[in-house]
């Protein structure tokens, strides 16, 4: 029933088609970076190559105490209008990324803030598409799609399918006017609206949450003024994690935000999903002693797989990755183990992020 609601939310989102009008919004693109020397030049080149007026575009990178050549690479593009801000915090923080973004917003000149990550790639019409959507719809915050690409293994392809599911769920909740999740690798919001909700105040002690928790603040303040941009030119691409250890650390970071959700319905939904997956495991284990429970676990698994297939059929079509659906049976089994583990691990203890132990 829940996934049916998600399917309905996804279909409420109309594929956006930009109109041929003159765009006038001043944009500040913010990118927080730490030790991204191998990737950052490609991101900078993509941002410089945007088909959007240069006099309306401000590109700001914030170097978060990098120990490699990240800052030097950014500085080498200063003659092309790329600005560099260096964080110089001498006191330990738990949320360096929020500090980086907040510092940049204070210096930004654009009325529309757009955030992405230092290892992301985007097409030349990315900015123009986001601004077109913003000027037509007048949303206070816009979530846009993020997708994995250039996978090198079965593990990475499985992540791509699972990530599309997460992006689709976030989009569908916005379609249903009950925003719950988004991704900071492709997020836009009005600078004025950021300050109206108090910025990151109240969530700045948590390492993660510069996207989702800010979304919740925006949704509470500006009900009905959150949009999802369903357009392939608006997609930002990044790479899946190469190792299981990196994947677990990332998902623990994402899950850690759930402890700060103020919308109780989101928490209840998350707990129900966790309990359902746990019940499949318990029934499967009980099946060793009583075949009824094993059969029940099989029915639960098939039901889970069927409704997720219905949802992912459209989401993968949008991403032009429908071929990944062949991985769904295997992914479903692994996903149950992952959900149960991350549900506990993500809300207890610390995790590693950018070579720092945070909580």
Give the Cβ contact number of residue 54 at 10 Å. Answer: 11
Residue 30 token pair:
């913010």
* pLDDT exceeds cutoff 90 at 262: no
Helix pair angle (154-175, 291-318), 10° resolution? 80
% of the chain with per-residue pLDDT over 70: 92
| Gap between the Cα atoms of 222 and 309, Å rounded | 33
* pLDDT exceeds cutoff 80 at 356: no
Residue 80 token pair:
């092309």
pLDDT tens digits, residue range 276-314?
889 999 999 999 999 998 999 999 999 989 989 999 999
Domain boundaries along the sequence of the chain? 2-258, 264-358
pLDDT-derived band of residue 121, with 50, 70 and 90 as boundaries?
A: very high
For range 317-328, the mean pLDDT: 95
pLDDT tens digits, residue range 147-174?
999 999 999 999 999 999 999 999 999 9
φ, ψ dihedrals at 297, nearest 5°: -65, -40
Q: Which residues is 143 bridged to in the sheet?
A: 187, 228
List CB contacts of 108: < 8 A, sequence separation 6 or more: 28, 30, 58, 60, 191
| Gap between the Cα atoms of 144 and 74, Å rounded | 25
Q: What one-character DSSP code corresponds to residue 310?
A: H
Q: 46-55, 126-135, 337-346: lowest mean pLDDT where?
A: 337-346
- Per-residue pLDDT at 22: 95
Q: Which residues is 28 bridged to in the sheet?
A: 58, 113
* pLDDT exceeds cutoff 70 at 237: yes
CATH of segment(s) 2-258: 3.90.550.10
Residue closest to 228 by CA, chosen among 167, 165, 314, 152: 167
Contact 242, 160 (CB under 8 A): no
How far separated are the first and last CA of the chain, in Å rounded? 34
Please state the length of the chain. Answer: 359
- Per-residue pLDDT at 214: 95
- Per-residue pLDDT at 144: 97
Contact 188, 112 (CB under 8 A): yes
pLDDT-derived band of residue 54, with 50, 70 and 90 as boundaries?
A: very high
Q: 46-60, 89-103, 236-250: lowest mean pLDDT where?
A: 89-103
Residue closest to 71 by CA, chosen among 27, 25, 118: 118
For range 105-117, the mean pLDDT: 97
H helix runs in the chain, sequence order: 2-12, 40-48, 70-75, 96-107, 126-137, 154-175, 191-196, 212-221, 244-256, 264-286, 291-318, 328-345
For range 327-354, the mean pLDDT: 79
pLDDT-derived band of residue 350, with 50, 70 and 90 as boundaries?
A: low
- Per-residue pLDDT at 334: 87
Chain mean pLDDT for the chain: 90
- Evaluated on CA atoms 283, 250, 213, 112, the torsion sign reads negative
- Per-residue pLDDT at 341: 86
* pLDDT exceeds cutoff 70 at 353: no
Give the Cβ contact number of residue 75 at 10 Å. Answer: 16
């Amino acid at each position: 029933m829940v996934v049916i609601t998600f399917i309905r939310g996804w279909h409420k989102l109309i594929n956006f088609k930009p109109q041929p009008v003159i765009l006038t919004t001043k944009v500040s693109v913010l990118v927080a970076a730490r030790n991204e020397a191998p990737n950052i030049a490609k991101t900078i080149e993509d941002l410089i190559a945007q088909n959007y007026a240069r006099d309306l575009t401000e590109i700001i990178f914030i170097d978060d105490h990098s120990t490699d050549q990240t800052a030097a690479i950014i500085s080498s593009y200063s003659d092309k209008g790329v600005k560099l801000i260096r964080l110089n915090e001498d006191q330990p923080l738990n949320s360096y990324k929020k500090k980086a973004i907040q510092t940049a917003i204070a210096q930004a000149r654009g009325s529309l803030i757009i955030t992405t990550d230092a290892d992301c790639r985007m097409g030349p019409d990315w900015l123009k598409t986001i601004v077109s959507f913003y000027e037509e719809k007048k949303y206070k915050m816009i979530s846009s799609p993020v997708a994995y690409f250039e996978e090198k293994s079965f593990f990475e392809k499985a992540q791509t399918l699972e990530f599309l599911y997460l992006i689709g769920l976030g989009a569908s909740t916005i379609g249903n006017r009950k925003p719950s999740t988004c991704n900071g690798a492709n997020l836009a919001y009005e600078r004025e609206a950021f300050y109206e909700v108090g910025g990151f105040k109240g969530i700045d002690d948590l390492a993660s949450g510069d996207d989702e928790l800010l979304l919740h603040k925006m949704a509470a303040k500006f009900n009905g003024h959150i949009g999802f941009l369903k357009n392939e030119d608006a997609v930002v691409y990044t790479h899946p994690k190469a190792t299981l250890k990196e994947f677990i650390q990332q998902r623990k970071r994402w899950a850690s935000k759930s402890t700060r959700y103020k919308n109780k319905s989101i928490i209840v939904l998350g707990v129900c999903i966790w309990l359902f997956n746990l019940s499949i495991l318990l029934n499967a284990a009980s099946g060793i002693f009583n075949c009824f429970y094993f059969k029940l676990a099989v029915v639960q698994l098939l039901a889970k797989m069927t409704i997720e297939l219905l949802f992912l059929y459209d989401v993968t079509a949008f991403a032009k990755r429908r071929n990944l659906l062949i991985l769904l049976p295997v992914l479903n089994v692994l996903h149950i183990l992952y959900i149960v583990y991350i549900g506990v691990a993500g809300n207890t203890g610390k995790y590693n992020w950018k070579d720092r132990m945070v909580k």
